[in-house]
């Protein structure tokens, strides 16, 4: 049987389901767990810098058309 290889990043919430599905179908797989970066504590310099970096990344994605932002009205309506 011909085979092909894929690489996928699976959200943690779905991981167990996907692993169970692969096992049930007899699909071999290899785990490559990435360590996530620890979120800094609020009210620290690292927290502020991390928040700014995440915000700038969102701006960059928006400029590239890869992120749709909500209007202020939409945000207020959610409250």
Domain count for the chain: 1
Question: Is this prediction's pTM over 0.75?
Answer: no
Q: What is the pLDDT of residue 56?
A: 92
1 occurs within a structural domain: no
Answer whether residue 6 is part of any domain: no
Q: How many CB atoms are closer than 10 A to CB 58?
A: 13
| pLDDT value at residue 67 | 86
Residues of the chain with pLDDT under 50: none
In a domain, 7, yes or no: no
> Considering the domain boundaries, does residue 16 fall inside one?
yes
In terms of residue numbers, what domain contains 63?
12-78
């Amino acid at each position: 049987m011909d085979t092909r290889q894929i690489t996928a990043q699976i959200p943690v919430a779905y991981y167990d389901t996907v692993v169970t599905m692969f096992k049930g179908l007899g699909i071999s797989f290899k785990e490559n767990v990435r360590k996530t970066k620890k979120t800094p504590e609020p009210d620290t310099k690292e927290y502020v810098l991390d928040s700014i970096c995440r915000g700038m990344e969102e701006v960059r994605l928006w400029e590239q058309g890869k992120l749709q932002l909500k209007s202020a009205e939409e945000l207020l309506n959610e409250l």
